[in-house]
Structure 1
Amino acid sequence: MTFIGRIVCAAIAMLLSLGATCALAAAQATLDRDRIALGDTLTLTITATNNDDLSEASLDPLFADFEVLQRSSSSNTNIVNGRISRSRQLIIEMTPKRQGDLIIPSLDVGNSTTAAIPVTVGPPASMGGSDETVVFEMELDHKQVYVQSQVILTLRVLQAINLERRNISEFTLNNAFVKPLEQRSFQTRIDGRQWRVDEIRYAIFPEQSGTLEIPQQVFSGRVTQRRRSLFDMGGSGQRVRRIAGPISIEVLPIPAAFVGDNWLPARNVTVEESWSSPPEQLGVGESATRTIRITAEGAQGAQLPPIRFNPVDGLKYYPDQPSIGEEELPSGLLGTREDNAAVVPTRAGTYTIPELRIPWWDTQNRTLNYAVVPAREIVAALPAGSAAPATTIPLPVAEPSTSTLPEALSSGRESNPLWPTIAAVTTTGWLLTLFYLWRSRRTIQTPNSEEHDSVSEKQTFKALLAACRQEDALAARGAMIAWSATLFPDAPPRSLEQVSLRFADGELAAQLDALDSGLFGSNQTTWSGPALATRAKQLRNQYKKKPTTNRVLALYPSPG
């Protein structure tokens, strides 16, 4: 690549990195709830990670449908692996002016613009003429769900008076996975009276079909009284106790219409594919990381199925550890899973990565759906500068005729006896130079420090034993290749197949084949870490007993 070409590439990379930074730094707007009643308060949070001044954010677009009650700000600084990230938040408390399906409009924050957010405003709440000042409720978003699908339980405390020492009984549930969600607090107006509302929410995933009984919950507190003196610690107010529940959930079994090995109930599932570099431009021996990201609304991250990178003849996959997590949405959990694998073409050609199809059950519409990544074609080419088959180019042979040389030079060479001497000296010097370079290269490549070689061998062998002990197939593969390379520095192996050839041991070859097949084969073969460690120890002992002068020769048995 020319100097100008390198400058252009660097400029493009800088622009792309700046674009990515701007994209990550854009201001984001979130709501604490997406469904409220008229008279409720709603909290809008605007978060910025760049230099945008949140105090200058224009809230004028909100005034059409919302009344802004209060605004506050906060900042946060995180240090992860030496990298400092800062974020600022603008917290806006507001209340809707009317019922209906409203929109939180886009807001300009410095050089960024937030996305619009929908919110549904229902009719105002009513106590039906009750004179209660403290209300405790239990509510489910669905009373009929599928097994292992999400149901949201909300415990709601409404108080029109000041309370202290408030407490709710500990929530426990059998035959279900329970995930506490973020607590919500807001103000609402009911029948002309102002109320404080606290919501404690749980995402529940029933583990068995049938009826799931949620036991009654108890709320207790004391009415706050004015202190009569500085020494009055309070707590003498009237005790308040409220009971909600019990309540039942009907849990449906897996429907017969569902197909697939992994039952996945959710409100919505998406799957995305990304590459670290364009797969259409891969060369033989080069790698690109393929990332598959699955998101499922209303599911845990642990429920998402693992991605099987099925091998394709001519392509090698080197999978990494998956990343599994969860995020919280107003509707509950958003499960996420990322699977990564390095893809390496082993020979030139055109390859088709098959379609990825993940079945999932739509819990709202009760239908079978598929999240799909289409099939993709990869054209792998030989690296630039390497010919497809190696061809031998013959060196030019001098013709007897010297007609191509200038006449004076030709006649001089024929008549001057000094030319053969000059040619002989030049040829000898050239051969001596080649011999010196060859010896220098062997001296550099051959380790002459037995102490350094011993330490390197010990370290890599220790890593191999640790990987086998932890049954970590991917780490064991890399450690086995690294350890073998220290034993055979003149021809270090680069794959498990080459390791087998170096040792020429049938038992080790079978174990390495099982290891390789378990990682990259179509059938998930079981390999034994302890067995591989035992055989490696035996071979290491045999190897160390051999004379050091015959190390390389002993690796290749004679044909006879």
Structure 2
Amino acid sequence: MANAAVEATVDRQQVAMGDTLQLVISATEDDEDLGTVSLNTLLTDWEILSRKTSSNTTIVNGKRNHNRQLQIEITPRRPGALIISSFQVGASKTAPVWVNVSKMARVDPGTEAILFEATVDSDSVYVQGQLILTLRLQQAVNLDGRSISDLQLPGAFVVPLEQKSFQRTVSGRPWLVHEVRYAIFPEKSGVLEIPAQSFSARESGPRRSVFDTSRGKLIRLQSKALKIEVLPRPAAYSGSTWLPARNIVVEEEWSTEPEKLRAGESVTRTIRLRGEGLQGAQLPPVLLTTTDGIKHYPDQPTIADAEISTGLLGSRSDSVAIVPTRAGSIELPAVEIPWWDTQTQAMRTAAVPARTLQIMPAANAVTASPVAGNEQLAPGSTADTGQQPLWQWQLATLFCAIGWAFSLLLLLRKGATKNSSQAADDPKTVSPKAAYKSLIAACAADQPSQARKTLIQWAAAIQDNPSITSLNAAGNAMADSELKLELLKLEQALYSSATDLWHGAPLRAAVERLQRLQRSPNSGETDELSLYPSD
């Protein structure tokens, strides 16, 4: 993106001839007028079907954010790798967008007006790598009460993605297409079987009168079952954490310019990891090595997932306060993250290069200039040493005493705030479902520290007991011998130097078993997931 104030995005980057595509031009600055955007360059390869504008204003912490969008529905004029050129919006310009357009989709329904299928983006995937499953419904008639069965894959971690809906024209016949997508992360090598998925709906038609309560014909369809080859971790991979991804980027950010740092001053360094085709929980923590002349004070990491056109984009941010203890030259070693490129089948390394800090002396470090030994003072005279009268020092001492008292009061209030913050992070506030998903992801990524944190949250949520704040308390509350054994192994791994040797699969198996036992038959869960609610 050439300028952060404007942005052009599409809802899909893989389409077929006859499909519609949503192009959105967004602006966040008030002086950017979307009404004046020229779309002439778009007409070469695309046909504009419709356009509309929308706006949204939010105020967060007193800051006003105004977001406006120009939404354009387009369809390609030809197949190939087509580019949507940059749009000039005021003084800003959007980045170009590439879209791959294939030939017209082959739809051979015969006499059928409803089609349902399951497809994957690859016939093979690495263990703990991402596989995209798409359940596609194509309809040429109106339907009511559409629903699909809930996807159940015991040997994999499943993340539902955003549903897509668009129109498709094949041989002059219009179709409405719905796509339900999942990101699937297999947990062991071998063969992953995706069972047949079910779809049901009723045909809708005009009512003969207001008293006509008859329902349309019931439609039930099934997709084909799929078998996926799950590849093991390659022997050529030498990294400590297994990271199969399409791409991994690591970057750093400083709260202030490190070139201006002085001894005793603090600066925050943030290392950000982004993995395409990974969950945020799979990304490893950035462990900064001990450096002479530097003290480190790490903060809690921030882990998140976002959806992009290729699936999931996991991110992790590790922040650490750095305090240099001396002036001079201090070398910060490089940060290197090895990962496996699933596209080229090769090991790669994402890195932040080493950096040399030139630390200046502390701001209060001054050098005294002694009075020459042979300099005599005249009787009754005083040397000009910068000393101040006694009453000024007494006044300064009084102000210092007041300052110390005020600092003590702030510390006491800070302690109370910290306790309130801890209360806000009470495990009880985490839902059992969210805690369970985070725990399973941590086990899948073989991350003992994250597994400890999320297991305590899960146990506290399941037992509705916020006093569970340790692994020992969690094990006692769950009262399961298998779980207690795995928690003991986890505890040993956390307090040993070989945390990279811990494997989360046994703990996950115990947790999944207990999770199934905890489910109530009257919880209100249904076997079917609504595809798109009917009016």
Tell me the TM-score normalised to structure 2 length.
0.73
Match of 1:441 in 2: 396
Answering whether residue 244 of structure 2 is matched by residue 258 of structure 1, we say no
Q: Which residue of 1 aligns with 2:204?
A: 224
Q: What's 2:11 paired with?
A: 32
Aligned residues: 426
1:355, distance to aligned residue in structure 2 (A):
1.2
Asked whether 1:193 is paired with 2:173, we answer: yes
- 1:297 and 1:74 map into 2 onto residues whose CA distance is 30
In the TM superposition, residue 107 of structure 1 has moved relative to its aligned partner by: 1.4
1:393 is aligned to 2:370: yes
Compared CA separation, residues 345 and 124, structure 1 to 2 (3 A) = same
Which residue number in structure 2 is paired with residue 147 of structure 1? 127
SS at match of 1:437: helix
Query: Percent identity over the alignment?
Result: 46
Determine helix, strand or coil for the equivalent of 1:286.
coil
* Contact 1:280–1:377 (8 Å) recurs in 2: no
Q: 1:367 to 1:239 in 2, by over 3 A?
A: same
Relative to 1, partners in 2 of residues 1:216 and 1:448: Cα closer, same or farther, differing over 3 Å?
closer
Q: Which residue of 1 aligns with 2:260?
A: 281
Q: Which residue of 2 aligns with 1:330?
A: 309
Note if contact 2:327-2:362 (Cα within 8 Å) is conserved in structure 1.
no
Q: Deviations over 1:92-126 (max 9, x none)?
A: 11110111111111112233221111111111112
Q: How far apart, CA to CA, are the structure 1 residues paired with 2:89 and 2:419?
A: 55
Aligned partner of 2:358 among 363, 379, 382: 379
**Kept in 2: contact 1:361–1:367 (CA 8 A):** yes
Aligned equivalent of 2:55, options 72, 75, 79: 75
Contact 2:28/2:68 (<8 A) preserved: yes
Written as runs of structure 1 = structure 2, the 5 A alignment for 1:360-371 is 360-371=339-350
Matched, 1:347 2:326: yes
Cα distance change on mapping 1:34 and 1:392 into 2, 3 Å: same
Following TM superposition, by how much is the alpha carbon of 1:333 offset from its aligned partner in structure 2, in angstroms? 0.8
**Does structure 2 conserve the Cα–Cα contact (< 8 Å) formed by 1:38 and 1:97?**
yes
Report the Cα offset of residue 129 of structure 1. 6.4
CA distance in structure 2 between the aligned counterparts of 1:161 and 1:468, rounded to whole angstroms: 55
CA separation in 2, counterparts of 1:38 and 1:468?
55
1:44-55 correspondence runs (5 A):
44-51=23-30, 52-55=32-35
Between Structure 1 and Structure 2, the one with more helix by share is 1
Cα separation, 2, equivalents of 1:453 and 1:262: 44
**AA of the residue aligned to 1:366:** Q
2:34 corresponds to 1:57 = no
CA distance in 2, matches of 1:184, 1:66: 20
* CA shift for structure 1 position 336: 1.3
RMSD: 3.3
2:175 corresponds to which letter in structure 1? W
The alpha-carbon distance between structure 1 residues 442 and 105, as it changes in their structure 2 partners (threshold 3 A), is closer
Q: 1:374-426 CA deviation, whole Å, 9 max, x = no partner?
A: 11111112145734xx55512575559x9xxxxxxxxxxxxxxxxx7xx48x9
Deviation at 1:56, TM superposition (A): 2.1
SS class of match (2:4): helix
Give 3-state SS (helix, strand or coil) of 2:35's partner: helix
Aligned residue type for 1:151: L
Aligned counterparts of 1:377 and 1:449: Cα–Cα separation in 2: 37
Contact 1:127 1:190 in 2 (8 A): yes
Deviation (angstroms), 1:458: 5.8
Q: Which moved more, 1:76-85 or 1:62-71?
A: 76-85
Given the superposition, is the C-alpha separation of residues 127 and 286 from structure 1 closer, same or farther in structure 2, using an over 3 Å criterion? same
Q: Rate the CA distance shift 1:121–1:467 in 2: closer, same or farther, 3 A.
A: closer
Distance 1:463 1:91 in 2: 45
Match of 1:182 in 2: 162
CA contact (8 A) 1:126 1:191 kept: no
Q: List gaps (5 residues or longer) in structure 1.
A: 1-21, 403-419, 472-522, 526-560
- Cα 1:116/1:467, change in 2 over 3 Å: closer
Which amino acid is the alignment partner of residue 394 of structure 1? V
The equivalent of 2:227 in structure 1 is 248
Give the Cα separation in 1 of the matches to 2:169 and 2:420: 64
Deviations 1:159-186 (A, max 9, x none): 0111111111122221221111111111
Q: Do the aligned partners of residues 242 and 63 (structure 1) sit closer, same or farther apart at CA in structure 2, a change above 3 Å counting?
A: same
CA 1:89 to 1:142, structure 2 compared with 1: closer, same or farther past 3 Å? same
> CA separation in 2, counterparts of 1:154 and 1:349?
57
Letter matched to residue 441 of structure 1 = A
Per-residue CA distance 1:509-560 (angstroms, 9 max, x = gap): xxxxxxxxxxxxxx899xxxxxxxxxxxxxxxxxxxxxxxxxxxxxxxxxxx
Gap regions ≥5 residues in structure 2: 427-496, 500-535
> In the alignment, what sits opposite 1:213?
193
Instruction: Say which SS state the counterpart of residue 389 (structure 2) adopts.
Output: helix
Residue 141 of structure 2 is matched in structure 1 by: 161
> Secondary structure of the residue that 2:300 maps to in structure 1?
coil
The yes-or-no answer on 1:303 pairing with 2:258 is no
Q: Which residue of 2 aligns with 1:321?
A: 300
TM superposition shift of 1:321: 2.0
Which residue of 1 is the match for residue 488 of structure 2?
none
SS of the equivalent of 1:280 reads helix
